[in-house]
Structure 1
């Protein structure tokens, strides 16, 4: 199979998360694939089907056509299946129904194989089961929890407005606004069930959700702990009210959430007519907390290679790491160390982005780089030897992949040799669970900070700075810093870590910089031991945060290590409540998801 077909198979697996996934390579570089189960629509006797099709080697420029489903497919109304849906075919040894509906897509970057499959079978007849999660910043969750559970044992309610992210077959709802219903005024005795929110309270929030392209979510609480579900009265109220809310929302989903102590359940309705439960609720604080409708039954057994670390955080912790998708921006001195640390921790999927190739000055600090990687055309060696050496990877991301695969052969690795400030590159990380920024450009900081605040993906920025005293040859300062950035916390704009002047310089072309006498900037000193301090602090903070191991007293503040006098300083940041990036003001990018453009270049 060629690389594009392998990528398409990974994207299909990510979009549908099937229990069964069978692949048969063909002889031309393509593949036949069958997977399932996938939920069917209400028109059919069967509840689920498998899906199958041929991925030609010309993917993504060729259609996935035709598509096949289970051979015993039957409509509830008894109607005979007719073109483009025809029975009595065989595919991959299975009796099949053929769906001969071509995709009308013309953009291969948008019309992905997984999307073609969805269009080919017709979402109106085969509504795909969505994987939906709810994500809170810690502060908003604490405020909601205090309102719902004041200690009186009664029911309380609120409205949440959330940004929407739909990527890789998954839907994320990002809670950015919270409106608490006042008992007796906004939240009153119900006409059918125990309590209800008054239409006068709901209506303006639905209107705002429609205008701002946000998702309206009503929330209330039940008693108990660790488990929660909607009552039948709740579900009946959804059936009565949510269709009208969908009409008011004009193309945006709507939903309901019920909370108990340490448990959250949800019922999210989509304009296409399908609905889904919440798979997970995630609270982004110093410790990343995960809440479910009931305690998950994870029976993951970690590979023996991870035995010693499993003794620290258990099989459940290792399972979380194995499902994590992490991005590392920059594969140089700091990034290459992070790649090795993360691979050895057992991270399931890693995206590494860096546009650069290795040169000989990188060898002292880029993990895994060899002299063969740094050979250039100017080296005085025979041509046949150059050709041989050039067969080895010279891009930093390829070296990072080699390191990761040697450390953990099971890791899924995506190497992107591109500029993170470009829109098509930055969007590759929007499905990640955590981002490390190990690149030193201001444009990379700008985009990284925007993604954390807009898409609620936590991250850490790492850097080192050596300042020589040019007059006497001594060192003025040597420090390493790690900056934790969470939604609403640690914003790089609020901490003055993004330099507007340098941003303007970096926005110029190389010719413009030269003509305007900006030069290319002085090369900063860099030493592997300084990089290792930052990389290890960042990787360890990620590990403790992601697995919820930090003590409650820990604060997500920047940490600066001054190496000349061995001082460690925790910086105190004061957030700007009018910040257009991280504040909860109506105009900020905070939690907007797909509702706002990123500050990237085209």
Structure 2
């Protein structure tokens, strides 16, 4: 069985609201072109899944509207045919969306009849396997969706996401679930709806060291229902003071970090389903897990991994919350703190990428790739002083990695709940622990940046090579 979901870029959702939620109280319609993300096996439910990613909004011309009332909208099919041509030319899927200004969140019998005729037209023109998506938007901006696979059969959207400064989920049972006793106190603070949303989320954690393990242990405690862990490192004795869930026996056994953190989450007994991959984030065995995620926390400390996640965030409209901790000390004994900075950066369409923020360096990323894929060549280059090589280990303290993890998870909660108010979103937050100061460093896309100075990759979805990476 295959399940389906859709993700809207916030700018597209806003454009749709302007087009179809008008002040006249009548139904209106528009088209959406979607790219695809095919997931062979969702690691949590073991089913195939297809995500549809919004790429373009196409208005229905007013002059082609035949009738618009509070309960009906009909229009000529000329614009539908043009949009079908565009969809097949770009390997995209066409959707229709119309408003229900009266608030009805389900499709009407008239919708069923009209849409069956449109999908038949689409399959006559573009081929018998052509799917068509359809959506309803109500006055409160709630979305309902389905996919037509034939004139006789349609399947519901498991989830619809709107991703921008805030994150919003739409699903059929929202508002009707009961709160589990373990999260009752949280519902008293934030309301029941947030608990419902968090329980549905699939959240990835890339990097299970001091920061990543702290994030991973916080997620089930706020009610995240599905957690995916990615890391290819093992536990050693130097990790034990900061890797949440690790024991001396894990260091003795050189246990994989993902297994240790997964075990610790399971032992909480909060019902969170955990899957993991003992691999580097860019390995193909991680693709299905990554694409299945609704949000990813980037807790890796390598430039190459961060560049990979920066691309993934935009290609697949999966918000990445990237964390970094830098501690700089003097050479004196005992050392003195010169800088102790924690950073939380949210990567979504419209925000500057990590390269434009100066967080990652392409040259270092290339060296890390060389060390990972051709270690013998890397060692030769290092001996010849063509690469930087490894220096002394970076200083790290568990209280700061844990506080940084809390900052990141709180940013996720703000995106869903807005508890800090409408101006409380932080695309980039810097905490200077040693100075007890917070800052919000801004950044703009560098001219010509293929990721954040152009919309070409936003919601691009599947392509070969993966993420348009040539190495």
TM over 0.5: yes
Q: Secondary structure at the match of 2:318?
A: coil
1:375-422 C-alpha deviation (Å, 9 max, x unpaired):
3xxxxxxxxxxxxxx3xx622112212221222353222232111121
Q: Which residue of 1 aligns with 2:154?
A: 275
Q: CA deviation at 1:272?
A: 10
Structure 1 distance, partners of 2:464, 2:153, is: 25
Q: Which residue of 2 aligns with 1:144?
A: 16
Cα contact 1:166–1:172 (8 A) shared by 2: yes
Q: Which residue of 2 aligns with 1:447?
A: 308
Q: CA deviation at 1:435?
A: 0.8
Q: CA deviation at 1:561?
A: 0.9
Structure 1 distance, partners of 2:217, 2:123, is: 47
Question: Which blocks of at least 5 consecutive residues in structure 1 are unaligned?
Answer: 1-127, 376-389
Structure 2 distance, partners of 1:267, 1:358, is: 45
Structure 1 distance, partners of 2:262, 2:113, is: 52
Structure 1 residues 550 and 172: CA distance shift in structure 2, 3 A: farther
User: Are 2:407 and 1:557 equivalent residues in the alignment?
Assistant: no
Structure 1 residues 350 and 306: CA distance shift in structure 2, 3 A: same
Q: Which residue of 2 aligns with 1:242?
A: 119
Q: Which structure shows the higher helix fraction?
A: 2
User: Are 2:42 and 1:181 equivalent residues in the alignment?
Assistant: no
1:30-53 C-alpha deviation (Å, 9 max, x unpaired):
xxxxxxxxxxxxxxxxxxxxxxxx
Structure 1 distance, partners of 2:250, 2:347, is: 34
After the TM superposition, which residues 332-371 of structure 1 pair with which residues of structure 2 at under 5 Å, given as runs?
332-371=209-248
Q: Which residue of 2 aligns with 1:489?
A: 351
Cα contact 1:156–1:183 (8 A) shared by 2: no
Q: Which residue of 1 aligns with 2:376?
A: 511
Q: Secondary structure at the match of 2:461?
A: coil
Moved >6 Å (runs of 4+): none
Structure 1 residues 338 and 269: CA distance shift in structure 2, 3 A: same
Query: 2:340 aligned to 462, 478, 496, which one?
Result: 478
Structure 1 residues 189 and 538: CA distance shift in structure 2, 3 A: same
Q: CA deviation at 1:483?
A: 0.5
User: Are 2:375 and 1:498 equivalent residues in the alignment?
Assistant: no
Q: CA deviation at 1:505?
A: 1.0
Structure 1 residues 306 and 200: CA distance shift in structure 2, 3 A: closer
Structure 2 distance, partners of 1:567, 1:203, is: 57
Query: 1:520 aligned to 370, 375, 389, which one?
Result: 389
Cα contact 1:320–1:547 (8 A) shared by 2: no
User: Are 2:412 and 1:534 equivalent residues in the alignment?
Assistant: no
Q: Structure 2-normalised TM-score? A: 0.86
Between 273-282 and 339-348, the greater mean CA deviation after superposition: 273-282
Q: Which residue of 1 aligns with 2:459?
A: 591
Structure 1 residues 359 and 228: CA distance shift in structure 2, 3 A: closer
Structure 1 distance, partners of 2:294, 2:200, is: 10
Structure 1 residues 445 and 222: CA distance shift in structure 2, 3 A: same
Structure 2 distance, partners of 1:590, 1:249, is: 25
User: Are 2:291 and 1:403 equivalent residues in the alignment?
Assistant: no
Q: CA deviation at 1:429?
A: 2.2
Structure 1 distance, partners of 2:232, 2:151, is: 40
Structure 1 residues 273 and 589: CA distance shift in structure 2, 3 A: farther
Q: Which residue of 1 aligns with 2:188?
A: 311
Q: CA deviation at 1:474?
A: 4.3
Q: CA deviation at 1:479?
A: 0.5
1:183-205 C-alpha deviation (Å, 9 max, x unpaired):
22xx32159x9644444433333
1:238-279 C-alpha deviation (Å, 9 max, x unpaired):
222212213434454222323221233334222697422334
Q: Which residue of 2 aligns with 1:205?
A: 83
Cα contact 1:162–1:175 (8 A) shared by 2: yes
Q: Structure 1-normalised TM-score? A: 0.68
Structure 1 distance, partners of 2:303, 2:20, is: 42
Cα contact 2:122–2:130 (8 A) shared by 1: no
After the TM superposition, which residues 102-117 of structure 1 pair with which residues of structure 2 at under 5 Å, given as runs?
none
Q: Secondary structure at the match of 1:268?
A: strand
Larger Rg: 1
Q: Which residue of 2 aligns with 1:258?
A: 136
Q: Secondary structure at the match of 2:157?
A: strand
Between 330-339 and 395-404, the greater mean CA deviation after superposition: 395-404
Q: Which residue of 1 aligns with 2:99?
A: 221
Q: Which residue of 2 aligns with 1:172?
A: 51
Q: Secondary structure at the match of 1:161?
A: strand
Structure 2 distance, partners of 1:488, 1:272, is: 38
Cα contact 2:37–2:461 (8 A) shared by 1: yes
1:84-126 C-alpha deviation (Å, 9 max, x unpaired):
xxxxxxxxxxxxxxxxxxxxxxxxxxxxxxxxxxxxxxxxxxx
1:279-322 C-alpha deviation (Å, 9 max, x unpaired):
44321233322335x774523240x3333323223444333333
Cα contact 2:199–2:223 (8 A) shared by 1: yes
Structure 1 residues 178 and 556: CA distance shift in structure 2, 3 A: farther
Cα contact 2:211–2:401 (8 A) shared by 1: yes
Q: Which residue of 2 aligns with 1:93?
A: none
Q: CA deviation at 1:529?
A: 2.1
Structure 2 distance, partners of 1:537, 1:573, is: 20
After the TM superposition, which residues 75-94 of structure 1 pair with which residues of structure 2 at under 5 Å, given as runs?
none
**RMSD in angstroms over aligned alpha carbons?**
3.0
